[in-house]
């Protein structure tokens, strides 16, 4: 993967309205982006390693290509570029 592709994924993570969602009490985490029509897109589950860095994702980009540096969901998670967090209880925290 080229450095340009990596930068593009990182830029997408920084330029979209993205939220982190805790799906359950076990802290299963997912990343969602807001679509153009204002609804929330699919929640892609992030798997983390022992240092809490994202190491995999359920999105098509990660499943098909496994890009160096990760998909933009992983960039968003690792760089903590969220606009809001939703807890498993449903409580929303805007950042």
Q: Identify the weakest region by mean pLDDT among 11-15, 34-38, 75-79.
A: 11-15
Average pLDDT for 16-44: 89
Query: DSSP label at 24?
Result: S
pTM of the full predicted structure? 0.80
Distance separating alpha carbons of residues 75 and 80, to the nearest angstrom = 8
Token digits of residue 94: 């805007």
- Longest pairwise C-alpha distance within the chain: 40
Burial class, 71, CB count within 10 angstroms (exposed 0-12 / middle 13-18 / buried 19+): buried
Task: Tabulate helix, strand, coil % of the chain (nearest 5).
Answer: 30, 30, 45
Token digits of residue 65: 């290509």
Residue 86: per-residue pLDDT: 93
């Amino acid at each position: 993967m080229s450095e340009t592709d990596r930068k593009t994924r990182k830029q997408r993570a920084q330029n979209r309205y993205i939220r982190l969602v805790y799906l359950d009490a076990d802290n299963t985490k997912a990343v969602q982006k807001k679509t153009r029509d204002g609804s929330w897109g699919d929640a892609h589950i992030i798997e983390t390693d022992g240092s809490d860095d994202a190491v995999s994702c359920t999105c098509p980009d990660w499943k098909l290509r496994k890009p160096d540096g990760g998909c933009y969901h992983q960039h968003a998670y690792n760089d903590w570029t969220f606009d809001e967090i939703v807890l498993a209880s449903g409580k929303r925290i805007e950042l």
